[in-house]
Amino acid sequence: MTAAARACAPLQSQAAERILLERVGEGVARLEALEAGDRTRVRAVLATLTSGMVFDLTRFPGDDARHIAALDTEEELDHYTYLVAGCVGDFWTRMHAAHRPRLAHWDVDAMSRAGVRFGKALQMTNVLRDVPHDLAGGRCYLPAHDLAALGVSPADLLTRDGAERARPLYTRLLGVALGHYDVGWHYTLAIPRREARMRLACAWPLLIGLGTLAELSAHPSPLTARTSIKLSRAAVRGILARSALSVWSNRALARHAARLRTRISV
């Protein structure tokens, strides 16, 4: 256990986070035990994720709705989604390509770029789902430049009128997320059928994410919703069951995704 972890652990109020700090030495030991290539890949993704956390903490210094800070541009939002999620798609791809012989035919660089889009799809879903919660914590991931073009400030999103005026931007960002999902589906269907667990590990978050986007698209005011907009447990169970049965078929998986996609208005 490092000196920093020892100093921070007693100050952590969340039990799970405290345990993580207390066991950081074990995590470092497990990292060092990996073979050289895997160790390099893990270190690279950890460095990127950490830079995303630092970016988030420095960009959003407040912790309540009285001190809202916002990202500036859509390009900055895209970069943020890479730092905290897109980089994981690249890591996931390169790790699997290094260890799964059935992926030997992959163009790893091209699939890694698609993996980045996959990760961005999931993070954009989080951004679009969590706007009310993030605003309450002083964070606005909707770009201030694009809001200003609609005559809206980040603080205006706390009002019904401001949220309605920002709806065109919200809808456009739904479209951006859908573009990432389309690439994510091409990625998933490129996984060999015999790699069933890898296919499911990709299909499940994509299907649940598309279902969440459908719920957001249908909601009358997703920017001011008082409760989290998400799929019901029954809907999630249905997605898991249907996809587990259709995992071997590209046509069946694509048809399942298409049904969800048609519910999303952009």
In tens, the pLDDT along 140-198 reads: 999 999 999 999 999 999 999 999 999 999 999 999 999 999 999 999 999 999 999 99
229 vs 12: CA distance, rounded Å: 29
Say how many CA atoms lie within 13 Å of 79 toward its Cβ.
11
* Residue extents of the structural domains in the chain: 1-33, 35-261
Q: Do 131 and 57 touch, CB atoms closer than 8 A?
A: no
In three-state secondary structure terms, 140 is strand
pLDDT value of residue 139: 96
Residues near 28 by beta carbon (within 8 Å), at least 6 away in sequence: none
Q: Are 224 and 134 in contact (CB under 8 A)?
A: no
Residue 97 tokens, joined: 């390509």
Confidence grade of residue 203 (pLDDT, cut at 50, 70, 90)? very high
**How sure is the predictor about 1, in pLDDT bands with cuts at 50, 70 and 90?**
low
Report how far residue 233's alpha carbon sits from residue 256's, in angstroms, rounded to the nearest whole number.
18
CATH 2.60.40.10 holds for 35-261? no
Query: Taking the CA atoms of the chain, what radius of gyration do you get in angstroms?
Result: 20
How far apart (Å, rounded) are the C-alpha atoms in residues 151 and 51?
32
Q: Containing H/E element for 20?
A: helix 15-22
Q: Which of 199, 184, 204 is nearest to 114 (CA)?
A: 184
Do 190 and 111 touch, CB atoms closer than 8 A? yes
pTM check: above 0.75: yes
